[in-house]
A and B are shown apart, each in its own frame.
Chain A
């Protein structure tokens, strides 16, 4: 067996190193997924980069970041992307291909393209949002309703989070004295474990009789917000049967957890306000009802007062009308009476005048009559004095009984009659009687 040509390992490695260095003289931007990530105590960070296709690794390489690059590089990356440099993420890194005789090939990373990672994140996020939209997850929580008076609240947060105390103070020491029941479900709110931890708490609280579940990040690093864009966490929130209110607290953008939640606010105080405002709204409703009732009551009272007033004024004006009418009637009566009286008085006066007149007239007539009568009588008396008449030549004839004869009827032939004269009488015998009335005559 002849001796073979050979070189020793070191020489081989040295040649490879030389070839590699010749073939890859500069630096190259390489896109790869970080498969493992191990910072060491010596300050260097060792990692492995892979490329997968269809779920299988199709390329793999060792890589490292020297300790003089490591702190700046990781800090810059985390600050820019809000994401930790760790296994599982795809990055665009600048590498120098190096070959060590002892360790073989390795890629020295000295720069990282954060814009690429941001783009990746945005892409990933966009894809997640689209998937959630397609699955109808965005609307699920919105269809749930917070009760009018949310009272039993489950808070998922880290007990030590500064924001949690703010939240408790603001909610429980509210000036109106609204009461709440608050239960804490502790969970990790940052880091890789956060989504799983939050999902566990969500499931536990979701099985109980809460009015709302609150996810409160409550401070801490602005990094690590990635977990609130986590797809499975988003689904867990969306499918929770109880309304979930988030307060993740990042002004720059909205997280997927916020999008799928029933309601999202920025700060712990705002979170407490969601519930306080629900109570304030109820208080306001009570105030409105009380206001309506007292306004209606007031209106009712004033309506009654108006009615009373109008009744009073109608009564008053009716009384006044009545009094006016009575006064008028009275005046009219007085007028009539006085006119009547005047008339009567005048009539009476006229009558009495007339009567007086008549009396006077009658009296004087009577007087005149009496005087004439007396005069007549006197004349008659004077005239009928037989002596006077006898003096005139007349005689008075008397019959048998010595009574004056005024007619020849009672005288018969042969009767003795007396004839008286003024100065004496004689007794005669009737020889013949002539009656003018009967036209007969008696003769003896």
Chain B
């Protein structure tokens, strides 16, 4: 991770993805990328809750 992880942003993006996947008008071709992105975001969020942030911040700096 080169950029600092923004939990709130990630949650907002997940909400958007959920809405898009739920929307029947979303193209099938786009779904794959959305699902892959959601998996990535979910993992990052869950990790974030369980990670000592100070340490991560200092590594990033």
Q: Chain A 289-322, CB within 8 Å of chain B: the 1/0 string? A: 1101100110010011000000000000000000
- Complex contact B28–A304 (CB within 8 A): yes
- Complex contact B52–A149 (CB within 8 A): no
Q: Chain B 1-22, CB within 8 Å of chain A: the 1/0 string? A: 0000001100100110110011
- Known contacts A179-B53, A300-B31; is A293 also within 8 Å of B21 by CB? yes
Q: Is A79 an interface residue (CB 8 A)?
A: no
- Complex contact A149–B51 (CB within 8 A): no
Q: Chain A 322-349, CB within 8 Å of chain B: the 1/0 string? A: 0000000000000000000000000000
- Known contacts A179-B53, A304-B28; is A297 also within 8 Å of B21 by CB? yes
- Known contacts A290-B38, A290-B42, A293-B18; is A285 also within 8 Å of B11 by CB? yes
- Complex contact A292–B45 (CB within 8 A): no
- Complex contact B52–A181 (CB within 8 A): yes
Report which of A179, A282, A285, A297 forms a contact with B51, defined as CB distance below 8 A: A179
Q: Chain A 133-171, CB within 8 Å of chain B: the 1/0 string? A: 000000000000000110100000000000000000000
Q: Is A434 an interface residue (CB 8 A)?
A: no
* B-chain residues with CB within 8 Å of residue A359 when the two chains form the complex: none
Report which of A283, A290, A293, A297 forms a contact with B49, defined as CB distance below 8 A: A283
Bound form: Cα–Cα A304–B29 in Å: 13
B53 to chain A, nearest CB (A): 6
* A-chain residues with CB within 8 Å of residue B28 when the two chains form the complex: 300, 304
Of chain A, the residue at the smallest CB distance from B37 is A293
Report which of B7, B11, B17, B54 forms a contact with A293, defined as CB distance below 8 A: B17
Q: Classify chain B: how many residues form its interface, as a range.
A: 20 to 34
Say whether chain B's binding surface is mostly helix, strand, loop, or mixed.
helix
Of chain B, the residue at the smallest CB distance from A151 is B53
Q: Is A286 an interface residue (CB 8 A)?
A: yes
* A-chain residues with CB within 8 Å of residue B38 when the two chains form the complex: 289-290, 293
- Complex contact B14–A289 (CB within 8 A): yes
Having A290-B38, A293-B17, A293-B38, one finds 8 other A-B pairs with CB under 8 Å, namely: A149-B49, A177-B50, A178-B50, A179-B49, A285-B11, A293-B34, A300-B24, A300-B31
Q: Chain A 273-293, CB within 8 Å of chain B: the 1/0 string? A: 000000100110110011011
- Known contacts A289-B15, A292-B18, A292-B22; is A279 also within 8 Å of B49 by CB? yes
Q: Chain A 256-286, CB within 8 Å of chain B: the 1/0 string? A: 0000000000000000000000010011011
- Complex contact B51–A293 (CB within 8 A): no
Q: Is A251 an interface residue (CB 8 A)?
A: no
Report which of A179, A293, A297, A303 forms a contact with B50, defined as CB distance below 8 A: A179
Q: What are 10 A-B pairs with beta-carbon distances under 8 A?
A: A151-B53, A179-B51, A181-B52, A283-B46, A283-B49, A286-B14, A286-B45, A293-B18, A296-B22, A304-B28
Q: Is A176 an interface residue (CB 8 A)?
A: yes
Bound form: Cα–Cα A279–B7 in Å: 12
